[in-house]
Amino acid sequence: MRQRTIAKKVKITGIGLHSGKPVNMVLEPLEDDSGIIFYRSDEGVGIPLGVESVTNTKLATVIGDPEVGVSTIEHLMSAVYSFGIDNLRVVLDGPEVPVMDGSAIGFCMLLEEAGIRTLSKRKRYIKIKKEVVYEENGKYARLKPARDIRFSFEIDFDHPLIGRQRYELDFSKKAFLSEIARARTFGFLHEVQYLRSMGLALGGSLENAVVLDDKKILNPEGLRFQDEFVRHKILDAIGDMSLMGYWFMGHYDSFAGSHHINHQLTKRLFMDPENYEIAELPKERSEVLAFERAFA
Q: How far apart are CA 114 and CA 29, in angstroms?
A: 9
- Of residues 18, 75, 232, 259, which has the active-site annotation? 259
pLDDT for 282 equals: 67
3-class SS of residue 117: strand
- 52-4-293-250 Cα dihedral, nearest 10 degrees: -10
Neighbours of 20 (CB within 10 A): 17
- Residue 191 makes CB contacts below 8 A (sequence gap 6+) with none
Q: What is the 3-state secondary structure (H, E, C) of 123-171?
A: CEEEEECCCEEEEECCEEEEEECCCCEEEEEEEEECCCCCEEEEEEEEC
Q: How far apart are CA 25 and CA 284, in angstroms?
A: 38
- Judged on CB neighbours under 10 Å (0-12, 13-18, 19+), 215 is exposed
Residue 248: its H or E element? strand 247-255
Nearest to 259 by CA among 21, 35, 75: 75
Using left for φ > 0, alpha for ψ between -120 and 50, and beta otherwise, residue 273 falls in alpha
Judge contact between 176 and 231, C-beta under 8 A: no
Where in 9-61 does DSSP place strands (E)?
10-15, 22-29, 36-40, 45-48, 54-56
Q: Please, what's the largest Cα pairwise distance for the chain? A: 55
pLDDT for 289 equals: 80
| 259 in catalytic set | yes
| Domains of the chain listed by start with CATH number | 2-122 (3.30.230.20), 125-294 (3.30.1700.10)
Distance of CA 38 to the CA centre of its chain: 14
Give 10-residue mean pLDDT values along the chain (296 residues).
Answer: 96 91 96 97 97 94 94 97 97 96 98 97 94 97 96 96 97 97 93 77 87 94 97 98 94 98 98 94 73 81
pLDDT for 199 equals: 72
pLDDT for 283 equals: 63
